[in-house]
Amino acid sequence: MLEQQRIDYLSAMGITQWMPRAVLPHAATPRWLSDVTQAPEANVGRLQQPSRGANAPVAAADLLSGFAVKAKTSTAEPVRVTSPSAPDSKVITPEVKSSVGAIDDKVRDLSVDNLASSPGIPPRFQLHFLRVSGGGIWICDQSVAPEHLRRFAHRVLKGMQQPMDLLPVPVKFNWPFIESKHDDQSEPVALQALNAQWRFFADQGVSYVLTFGDDSRLWLARIGVQSHYHHPQFIDMLSNASDKRQLWQALRTIPAH
């Protein structure tokens, strides 16, 4: 095949044909050569290199030889890379340490147990009011299922042979009233709303209160209402005969309504 025809085939297939710029040692004379008269000095160096064969890879040392010569002849000063200096131990002064400690104290003050006393942060609690008679009401917090309290109160009052109808569904008091950042639902507002809820029952003749769960007694005490009987864990009372006996005795001291 003619050289020109071979090059056309390779070009049509997208294969780049590389032609030598100088006559290679022990190689056939190429048909085409570049104009070697423009840079004869560059070809002399290549002719003096030892033969590696047409397909031999170029050594990395040959590629970097030009840069090595430039590095030796360069007069520029080397660039010094300095690592960032280590922080001085004297930077953290006692004043800074005390400030950090004060911040930690403030973070601890914003724990779940103290959220109710933090200004601007709405307290979160839930109370259920179960009207058991004309003068009595049982109140539990979110730790007690209101339906469990309702069934238990029905069995207790039935065992005491008190005249009673089917107990109503407990009234739910939930705070915050709505999830909103635009309305004031801070602790003072929560106490006002809870006091209004209690006044609603007090105006109907409620005179004694039984509380179950720590939150129920805590929030009622904040509005000046004392419980006639209290148990911190309603579920534990259901399986404890001594606690049931104390509840029974507390109910017997209450006048019938």
Q: Give the pLDDT band (50/70/90) at residue 118.
A: low
**pLDDT the model gives residue 116:** 45
By C-alpha distance, which of 226, 223, 236, 219 is closest to 127?
219
Q: Which tens digit of pLDDT belongs to each residue from 35-50?
A: 544 444 544 444 454 4
Cβ-proximal residues to 39 (8 Å cutoff; 6+ apart), any chain = none
Q: Which tens digit of pLDDT belongs to each residue from 72-88?
A: 454 555 555 455 554 45
**pLDDT the model gives residue 195:** 95
Burial environment of residue 22 by CB neighbours within 10 A (0 to 12, 13 to 18, 19 or more): middle
Distance from the Cα of residue 159 to its chain's centroid: 51
Q: Give the pLDDT band (50/70/90) at residue 123.
A: very high
Higher pLDDT pick, 40 / 137? 137
Q: What proportion of the chain, given as a percentage, has pLDDT over 70?
A: 60
Handedness of CA 147, 150, 154, 155 (dihedral sign): positive
**pLDDT the model gives residue 117:** 47
Higher pLDDT pick, 153 / 98? 153
**pLDDT the model gives residue 54:** 46
Higher pLDDT pick, 248 / 163? 248
Statement: residue 131 has pLDDT above 80? yes
**pLDDT the model gives residue 5:** 80
How confident is the prediction for the chain on average, in pLDDT?
74
What is the average pLDDT across 16-38?
A: 67
Alpha carbon distance 192, 127 (integer Å): 15
